[in-house]
Structure formats: C-alpha cells, structure tokens
Chains A and B, each alone.
Chain A
Amino acid sequence: MINFTELLKQKEYLKNLHEGENCFTFYANFILRNKEEYQIKIEFNEHFPSYLPEISLTGVDLKNIDHPHIDREGKICFLDIKGLVWSHEPSKCIDFTFEQIEKLLSLDQCKLRYEYHKEYDFFILSLYNRELAFSLGDNLDDLEEINLVTKKSRPICFAKNDESTKDILSRKLFDDNNLINANGIFVRLSEPYHADIPRYNAFWSSKDIVSIVKTYSTEEVKSKLYSLPYSNKQNYYYLVELTLLTGRQVLLGLWYRRITKTDSRTIPLLDSDADNYYKIIPIYIQRMDKTLVDRTGGQLFNDKVLLIGCGSLGSNILFLLAQAGFTNITIIDNDKIYPENACRHFLGVNYGTKGLEKVKALKTEIELRYPFTRVRPYNDDILKLISDGTVTFEDYDLVIVAIGNPNIEKMVNRTIIQTNTPSIYSWIEPYGLGGHSLLISDSNQGCYECIFRNGLFNEVSFAAVSDEPYIKNNTGCGGSFTPYGNIDAMQSALVTVRLVLSYINNKVSGNMLASWKGDCSNFISEGFETSQRYNQLNNAISMESVNFSRSDCSGCSKERE
C-alpha cells in the first residue's frame, strides 16, 4: 500500500496538508508556480496510479465558479485520458496530475469562453430539461423547412426535406410504429457565435434567442425569417446551426411547447415574449449526417464504384468501402446466401437461413448501417449484364472485380480495358497463402490478363504451377469451394480497400500490385508447392508498381495497337 501522506508531503507545492475522512482523502493548499493558491481535496483511488487522483476545489464558493473544466461540486476535470500514458512511479504520477491541474487553473479568462465552446456537447447535455434527437441531411439552405419525426410531439429526428434523406428515413432507422411526421425550420446563424454556451439550469430565454438570431444571422436569413407565416400551433421545432469559436458548426434543436392557451399568432423564434406561452426545450442533436464520418477521421467519397462479386471477399470489400465513406456503390452477383456459404461471408449465418439474394441482403444491411451509402444491386451474371448493355463501365469511376473465377474475370477485363475506367482485381490464395489486389489504371502497362503466362499460369500467384485444383468439395459438384478462412477474406478486402483509397486519393497511379503473404504450412501439408514469388517475398504486405504488359496478351494488345 502506498503511503499517500508521505508521498504528498514531498511535494513543496502542497501546503497545509492534512488527512481527510479516510486514508484515501487529503486536503491541502495547492501553490501554483505563479504563487496563486487554491484549497483542494485530493482523493486517491485504490488502484492509483492506474487511476489518477481526483482533485476538487474547496474553500471557494462553488456557485460562483464559472469554469468549463470545474463542475458544480468543485471537481476538476483536468485530463482527457484518452490516448495518454503516464508514469506509474507514484511521485511522478502526482507531479503529472498537478502539472495538469496547474495548466487548467492557469487558464486565462479570455480562453475560458473558447474552452466552453470546445466543450459544447458536454454543456448542452448538462442542460437540465434538454431532450435528445437525431438529425439527418446535409447541404441545408441557410433557412429552410425541414421534416421531423416525432413521438407524442417529442422530436425524434430532424430531417432534410429531400429524396435522399427520405430514402434514409425509409430504412426504418427508428424501430417504432407510433412515429408522427411534423415540420420544423432550419436556421443557419452564419456569423461566428462568440457568446456563452448555455449550461446547467441556465438555458436561453425567448428574449435571448431573439437576440442571438438577430445578431448572428445574415440579413437575408433575417428577412426570410420575418416573412414566415404567423401561426398558433401547439408545438414549434427549430434546428439552429451555430458556428462556434472553435470553428466547428453545431446544431441545436429548440422545441417550443405551448403551456398557456393564447389566441395570438406568432413566430416563436422571433418572439421575445414567447416564453409566456411556450416552454422552450433545448434539444441536443446527435448528428447522423456526413459530419459523422469526419468525426472518425474519414471522409465521404462520391466516386461511383462498381463491385463485381459479392462472395466472402466482395462482401467484406463492400463493408469496408461503405465504412471508408464511399456513398455510391453498385454491386453485382447472381448467388444467394445459404448457411454453407454464409460463415465467412460478411452477412453471417443469420442471413444464410433466409436464402436471400446476396446483393439485396447486402443492400439492406449496408444501407441500414451507413445511412449515407446508397447501394444499387444487380442480381445477375456480369457477362450477361455486359452483353445486354445493362452495365457500361464508362459509367463508373472505379470497378472492383472480386468474382473468384479468373475465366470470367478475364472476359470482364477485356471489356473494361476498352474504356478509361480503372479497375482493381482482387483474389485470395488457398489455405491462407495470401491474397492480391491488382490495380489497372494504365493499359500501356498491361492488363489483368497479362499476368497469365501462356494464358494459364498466374505470374503473381503464391502457389506454384499445379495440375490439381485447390478446391475442396464436401457436397458434390455444386458445393466445391476454395479452402481459405474468413480472416483471409477480410485481410484481402483490407488490402484491396487500402489500394482503392490510395488510388482515389492520388497516392498511387499506373498499375499497382498489392499482396499480403500468409503462412504456407497448411498449403504444403496438402502436398502443394509455393511459387518462386512467394519464396522470394520478404514482406508480409507488399505494394509495388508493376508492368506485366505482353505483346501476345489477348486482353490488351489490341488496345495498345
């Protein structure tokens, strides 16, 4: 057990140290380097120093404290511990704690407001009577009417009044049968908001709101606001966008709920006396718009991607593409999902029992998970879709081919190579040997078919030439499969989508081959041999610029001529 008293006594910046109500609690005066002095309470956790001590201010009038990182009980929120590593040597740990406390107590008044803005979400959530709601939809005009999903008048989701948002709402994001549609107004306050963030029990009055709207909106918005019709409704809903001192744009919902009967007609947002008749309820908005992707360090891509093949590999590629922010994906596959092919498939066995078309099941699942992604499914054979003109590759910015059948893939390649559309071919080696993704964006450097020596042997393969196919079959002709595990599919999907992102972000160009090298022991024990490329490759993952172009390639030689 650490002797906390001795530990704290060593610290010259702690004066008047004395023990508190138990052996984990202490009181002291903390002397800052600038000689300011604060009375504090130090509370250790029994798992110190894995957990830092909690520090609270004492000896100050708590109701007077107006500091973004000190709560109503005087507790100092001195550290966002995410991603931090501190020394577990007790003395250093104490120093670390008080260094942070000093930084916080030394914050200059003029920076406090910025800190409040930084902690916007916390303080809006701290409002006593606040509600929660979602918001959907981007690119809203500075002032526009929006839709609202409500339940017993309580706002559930603010939504832009457009087709794509309606489409997202139709995906049954809110699994409730008692939802009612209503209308609200979105107002953008474009001028940077530099006043206080409301907190705890001090939300804005109707007078405050009128003043804020007038101060921070443009003349155009103001004039549009004043031209809104005067009415007398039970509930009014507003979604207000503010630009904080941090530069971040945030949404705040306002629900004016009538509490006193009145015959007068009004625009509550512009009515300084509105709170005589309406209770104003702040709504913390959980955004389901595109800022979600920004928050996770990603970005949204509007590039049109065509994914051919939605088996284990293709379905995992689709999942990663959607998660990476691709919003416009077309998928082609003519297979259904059954229990025997579901286990290593992204959709999983619960989908396998339903015998659904893979593409339709994937569309449902992906669109539900990622509201901004639209998936267009074709449940058909790719060669048929090409020949009947349903699919034309010129319509896409990138084609990803993950069919798992080189014979079909070669034919697909021959059509794609006639266009300027870049393509990525992705495939998996058997028994965990590895996987490959080949980007073809310059036909002068060859095409997918060029990698097949004599039209047969895949030059980049990790498996040596073999007369025996690598497939397994448990159930007869219809049930053959290439033996590889689900993590092989996922690993290959990862390598493929990394290559996609590199290409889309202009990090690579020309033709590139990305391979990951796995363990060969199962493959060898089945009596097969590895290729020279496998044996010579040192890296677990490699990415290289390649030129396989050959004059006798049936796929691209004509194109080059």
Chain B
Amino acid sequence: MAKIQKQFEEFHDNIKLGRFEENATLREKRDIIINKIKDGIKKKFEDEGKKVPTLEFIDQGSYAVDLGINPEDGDFDIDEGVIFDLYKEDYSDSVEPKKWVRDIMDGHTKIPAKIKKPCVTITYSLDNEPAYHVDLPIYFKSIYDNRLYLAWGKEFSSEENKKWEVADPKGLNNHINNAFTGDAKKQFKRVVRYLKKWKDICFSSEGNERPASIGITIAATDLFNYEQKYNSIKGKYEDDDMAALSNLVWNISACFTDKWDSDRQEWLKTIKVSLPVEPYSNLFEKMSNLQMNNFYNELNELYDALQEAAGKDDAHDACEILTKYFGVEFPVPPATENRYQTQKSSAPSTNFA
C-alpha cells in the first residue's frame, strides 16, 4: 500500500476555502451587506414610525463550519442568516420581510437581488460573470416558543407555498462544529472536503444530480471515524486520510436502502439522512430515486477506486487513480522512472517488491 498521506494533505490545501477570517475580501463584502441591511431596516421602520427591530446575523453554510472548498465554477457561495427580533405571528406573509431585504439591497449589485424559496440572493459579478453570491435566509421568532422560523417562499408563490418553517441554524452549526475535536476534527474536515470535491468532479451540476453538500456533511458527522496508522520508522501514529475516507464512503453507501420505483418499475437505492435539528428533513429529498441510485453507484465506484489505489505499492500509481475522482488538484508524485535514471538489469531487484 503506497503512502500518500502527504498527497492527500496537499490536495486539501489546494481545494480548501478558508473561513471568513482568512478571506478579507469576502469578509468585507459580508460586512457591507450586514451594515446595509441594518441601516435599511432601521430607516424603513423609522420611516413607518415603528420600533426598529434588533437584527442578528449568523454565519451559515460551509464558511461557518470551515468546510468550504473552492467551487469548480468559481461562484463562491456565502450564507448569512438574518434573524429579526420580530414574531412571525405578526407577519402572516412570510415573503414580506424577504421583500424588505431585497428592496434594501436593490441596486447594490449589477445583477438584481433575487428572492428564492429559502433566501434572498445577492449576486456579485466580475466582468459580467457571477463571481460569488450571498444567500440571506431570513428568520423570525415566535411568541409561543424560543425557536426560529425561516421565511419560506418566492415573491409570487401561492399562499400554500409561503410559510414559516421551523429552523435551527445555530444548532446545525453547533452539531457540525462539536462533532469532533483536535486532530480527529482536522481529519474530518479534510475528508468532508475530499467528498465535496469528488461531488463537483463526478456529478453533473444540472438539476439535483449532485448530492447536497450539507447531506454529505451531516452523514459524515455520524459516520466518520478518525483513522491513524503507525509509522514504524518514526515510531509514532500518523493520520491516515485514505483509510478514513474509504471507511466513510463505505459507511455512507451502507446507509442506502432498496426502494421500488413504480415509475421505472425497478428497485433503486435510496438514502435518507435527516437534518439533525428541526425540521429534521431528509437532506437528500430533492434528489429523485434515480439520482440517489446514481449517487450510490458513484460512491461504490469511488470506494473501488480508493481500494485499488490503496492496493498500489507505488505512490505515483495510487495518485494517478485518484485524480480521476478528485481532479487535477490531487497531486501525483513523479513516476519512479522519471526520477531515478537506472538501467534495466537482467536480474531486476525484486526483493522488497
């Protein structure tokens, strides 16, 4: 089995997207938006002679849990929750506060702010191409409990598609952040990023072909095991990302169950991974049975490739296999013949092969 831990770690460095604190531009953009919304809401409520509500902003998504990767299409995704100190019972139309935010942000970017079902999206562009976008989910409180409620629905959705949906963005962040500690946490983050990259490489971005990142992340919080291997020369244990990744892929694929698809008249592999906080929904629910089945097949193919790579004695051979699944950012050490200029012998040295 080739030792390619350094290659995994280099791959991680290549694909890793740091936290806000490590990316000044994005941090600035976030803060500009936060301040703009705060000012806009203040002005709006003051103009209407109402008491200005307190706003709380919460980093969400991969930035918040330090699991981001550089996107394949260059379109960075920032999630920033906006929690209003207002009660949903006072606002029967869940889209109304989304319109406030949309209107406040209107004109801020060339591409107009847009109300999507779960959020308001602000898209920054560079040379007329989207460079990154900021998703702003809007939360209200309730007079009956201490939970948060997500403003769900688009501007022209029918009434039944507009709703306040219970949510726990802080609980979700805590769930992920507190799942592991120390070196195990570092390996967990690397392995999740490997899978996110794999997902970008091996699945079409069309529709819901790609399994949701949050689904993979939550599955990993349940199914990841920290793996180390003893280095008998250095006399210490070292991280073994290959084993950790293989085991996680195996464990995820073991979560699939057979489901009869009456439309296709065949058994398909489907998966359910519940959000660990309210509303406990299936994180892969957007995928069709066939898409889940494809997800299953791709996982198995990845597992086989990891096994094949693990079976290689040479690091070059092992990494070459992995580039097909993780892309060109996975480093490949030079082939032995490209480094060592030795001539073929009639009696090749095979003692340790």
List the interface of chain A (C-beta within 8 A of B). 13, 32-36, 38, 57, 60-61, 63-67, 69-70, 78-80, 83-87, 91-92, 95-96, 98-100, 102-112, 115
Contacts and interface: CB of A to CB of B under 8 A. Distances in A.
A65 B232 contact: yes
Interface stretch (B49-57, B152-160, B339-347): B339-347
Given A85-B347, A92-B341, 7 more contacts: A35-B7, A66-B235, A84-B348, A86-B345, A105-B233, A106-B3, A111-B1
A34 B229 contact: no
Interface in B1-30: 1-4, 6-7, 10
A86 B3 contact: no
Contacts of B236: 64
A109 B1 CA distance: 8
Interface residues of B, number: 35
A549 B347 CA distance: 47
A108 B333 contact: no
B315 interface: yes
A345 B181 CA distance: 82
Contacts of A34: 2-4, 6-7, 315, 333
B342 A33 contact: no
Nearest to A80: B351
B279 interface: no
B146 interface: no
Contacts of B315: 32-34, 106
B304 interface: no
B334 A33 contact: yes
B235 A65 contact: yes
B144 interface: no
A98 B342 CA distance: 10
A106 B341 CA distance: 19
A84 B6 contact: no
Nearest to B310: A108
Given A80-B351, A84-B347, A99 B340 contact: yes
Contacts of B3: 34, 36, 106, 108
Contacts of A87: 342-343
B345 A84 contact: yes
Interface string B178-217: 0000000000000000000000000000000000000000
Nearest to A110: B1
Contact of A103 (B7, B316, B352): B352
Contacts of A63: 235
Interface string B46-87: 000000000000000000000000000000000000000000
Nearest to A104: B352
- B1, B7, B230 — most chain A CB neighbours (10 Å): B1
Contacts of B234: 60, 64
A111 B351 CA distance: 13
Nearest to B342: A96
B232 A13 contact: no
Given A34-B4, A85-B345, A67 B333 contact: no
Nearest to B318: A34
A111 to B, nearest CB: 7
18 contacts: A34-B6, A35-B333, A36-B3, A60-B233, A64-B235, A65-B232, A66-B232, A67-B233, A84-B348, A84-B349, A87-B343, A95-B339, A95-B340, A96-B342, A99-B339, A103-B353, A106-B3, A109-B232
Contacts of A13: 339
B336 interface: yes
B341 A109 contact: no
Contacts of A104: 352
B231 to A, nearest CB: 7
B89 interface: no
B243 to A, nearest CB: 11
A57 B340 CA distance: 20
Contacts of B2: 34, 106, 108
B313 interface: yes
A204 B90 CA distance: 79
Contacts of A99: 336, 339-340, 342
A418 to B, nearest CB: 51
A102 B3 CA distance: 11
Contacts of B352: 69, 78, 100, 103-104, 107, 115
Contacts of B347: 83-85
Contacts of B343: 87, 92
A33 B233 contact: no
Contacts of B230: 109
A60 B336 CA distance: 25
A78 B231 CA distance: 18
A108 B1 contact: yes
Contacts of A79: 349, 351
Interface in B321-348: 333-334, 336, 339-343, 345-348
A35 B10 contact: yes
Nearest to A100: B349
A66 B234 CA distance: 9
A96 B345 CA distance: 11
A108 B318 CA distance: 13
B285 to A, nearest CB: 41
B342 A112 contact: no
B340 A91 contact: no
Nearest to A96: B342
Interface in B278-335: 313-316, 333-334
